[in-house]
Structure 1
Amino acid sequence: MSFFGRNKNPRKRSPTPTGSLSRENSINEGGSGATTPHGDKPLYLCSPFADAALVNGNFKTIVTLPRYVDRMEWVAMNIYDFYTNLNEFYGVITDCCTQQSCPTMSAGPNLNYSWITPDRKQMSLSAPTYIDSVMSSVQNLLEDETMFPTKSGQDFHQAFPTTIRHIYRQFLRIFAHIYHAHFHDVLNLRSEPHFNSLFAHFLAFGKEYGLLDVKDIKGEPNAPVGAGLLWERWKESGKLEA
C-alpha cells in the first residue's frame, strides 16, 4: 500500500538546536520538573482553560476509519498530520523552551524523560535537544520510502506498527512537556482551544488504534504525567471514550 497524497516537499524541522540522538527513550522517575507556585493545580487543569476546544462532542467521530480506506494508510496520514501540527505548535513557543529554561525534558513535578544510549545507559537531555531529536528522527522516517511508502502497490514495512507506537510515545512526551512547562505560553497566544483539540484528537486516535499505553499517559504513582489528568477529565466530560 502507498501512503497516498503525501506531500513530497521538504518538511520544516523543529526550530531548535540540531539534534541527532534518534535512540529509544525511557522514563527517569527521579527528576525535578517545573512546579506550580505553592503546589496549586496547574492552569491546564483549571476551568475554563481545560475545557477550551474547537470541537464539541466525542472525538471518536473524527478518528473512525473511513469506509474503503486501508487501516495503515489512515494511520500513516494521521501520523504525518500530528507531526506537522505538533511541530508547528512547538515552533511558536520555541523561544520560550531553551537550554536554560528547560534543562530537562520534564512532564510533571517529579518526572523527567531521558534517553537510553546504545550501551543502555540513561542520558539526561535538555527539552529543546530532546524535542529536536524526536522531530528530526520522525521526519527522517516520514521520508523513508520503506517505512512510509508513496508508490502505488508498495506494502508497508513489517516494522511499521512498532515504529508508529514508538513515534506516538515520543509525541505524547512532547505534548506532556508543553502542558507542564509552557501552557502559560500557549495561553499568552490564546491558543489553548487549538492545542487542547489537537491533544484530545491525538489521545482519541491513539486509543482507537491501540497506539498508546495507559501507563504512558498516566505515568507512575510517584511520577505521574501531569497532562495525563486531562485524559480523565475529558473522559468524564464525554470528549473521549470512557
Structure 2
Amino acid sequence: MALCLGQVFSKAKTFRPRKRFEPGTQRFELYKKAQASLKSGLDLRKVVQLPEGENLNDWIAVHVVDFFNRINLIYGTVSEYCSERTCPIMSGGLKYEYRWQDGEDYKKPTKLPAIKYMNLLMDWIESLINNEDIFPTRVGVPFPKNFQQVCKKILSRLFRVFVHVYIHHFDSICSMGAEAHINTCYKHYYYFISEFSLIDNSELEPLVSF
C-alpha cells in the first residue's frame, strides 16, 4: 500500500530547509491559490495557467520556489541511496551526463558524483531565490530584466534531478510507495514549463522514452 505524502517525505529526510513565502504578501496569496487549485483535483494543465489579472513574473517566481522545495524534498528522500560509490557521476543513464559549472569555483564543466552535484545545485538555487535583486519580495520592487532567463536555468537544472531520480533511483521510490506523488510532481512541473516555454525541448529528451 502506498504511504501518504507526509510519511514518505518526512522532515528528517529534507535535503535542505524549505524556502517559504511571507504571509500577507502578494506572492503568498498566489502560492495559496496555486496550492488550492492543486488540491482541488483540477486538470494540471489548467492549474498551471496564469490566473486572470496576475503578473507573469510573480506566477513564475512562486512556482520556481515551490518546485525547488518539492524537488529538493524528493531528492532528500533518495539521497541515502545516492552516494559517491553508487552514483560516481551525475547522470541519467548511459547516454546523459551532467557536469557542474557555476563560473566561480567551477569555471569549466566538471564531472562530479551525483550527491556533490546535487549539493552544489541546491546551494546555487537557494542563493538565487534568496537574492532580493533577483527574487524581490518587497512591494513595488520590479523583477530584473533577466529574471525569466534565470528561472529557465534554474528549472532546467532542476529537471536533471528528476532525470537522475527516475533513471537511477526509481526502484527505491517504488519501494517506499512514493511513485504516485513523484509522478504528480513531475507532471505539474512539466505542464508548467510547457505552458510558458521555460525549457528547450532538447533538455527533456532523457525522460521522453523512460
What is the TM-score when the length of structure 1 is the normalising length? 0.67
Q: Which has the higher contact order (CA 8 A, sep 6+)?
A: 1
Question: Is 1:14 matched up with 2:1?
Answer: no
Residue 205 of structure 2 is aligned to residue 205 of structure 1: no
Within the candidate set 134, 147, 152, 2:121 is matched to: 134
Residue 33 of structure 1 corresponds to which residue in structure 2? none
More helix by share: 2
Q: Deviations over 1:51-98 (max 9, x none)?
A: xxx997742111000112111000000001100011111111111011
Corresponding residue number in structure 2 for 1:167: 154
SS where residue 65 of structure 1 aligns?
Answer: coil
Tell me how large the CA RMSD over aligned residues is: 2.2
**1:181 aligned residue (168, 178, 183):** 168
Maintained 8 Å contact 1:14/1:136: no
**Map of 1:234 onto structure 2:** none
Q: Is the 8 A contact 1:14 1:87 kept in 2?
A: yes
Q: Which amino acid aligns with 2:203?
A: D
Matched, 1:98 2:83: yes
**Contact 1:63/1:208 (8 A) holds in 2:** yes
What displacement does 1:121 show?
A: 3.6
Q: Secondary structure at the match of 1:123?
A: coil
Summarize the Cα distance change of 1:101–1:55 in structure 2 as closer, same or farther, 3 Å threshold.
farther
Q: Percent identity?
A: 27
Q: In the alignment, what sits opposite 1:148?
A: 135
Determine if contact 2:14/2:77 at 8 Å carries over to the other structure: no
Structure 1 residue 74 and structure 2 residue 54: aligned?
no
Contact 2:14 2:73 in 1 (8 A): no
Structure 2 distance, partners of 1:117, 1:149, is 22
Cα deviation for residue 173 of structure 1 reads: 0.6
Structure with higher strand content: 1
What is the CA–CA distance in structure 1 between the aligned matches of 2:137 and 2:114, rounded to whole Å?
A: 32
Q: What per-residue deviation string (whole Å, max 9, x for no partner) do you get for residues 171-225 of structure 1?
A: 111110000100011101101110001001111100111101110001xxxxxx1
- Alignment-derived partner of residue 196 in structure 1: 183
CA deviation map 1:128-156 (0-9, x unaligned)? 11111111111111110010011000000
Secondary structure (helix, strand or coil) at the match of 2:98 reads strand
1:45-124 mapped onto 2 (5 Å cutoff): 58-116=43-101, 118=103, 121-124=108-111
List runs of 5+ in structure 2 lacking aligned partners: 1-12, 17-38
Name the aligned partner's letter for residue 98 of structure 2. Answer: Y
Report the number of matched residues: 174
| Rounded Cα–Cα distance in structure 1 between residues aligned with 2:164 and 2:209 | 14
**Among candidates 199, 216, 220, match of residue 203 of structure 2:** 216
CA distance in 2, matches of 1:117, 1:90: 21
Are residues 1:229 and 2:209 paired? yes
Q: 1:155 to 1:178 in 2, by over 3 A?
A: same
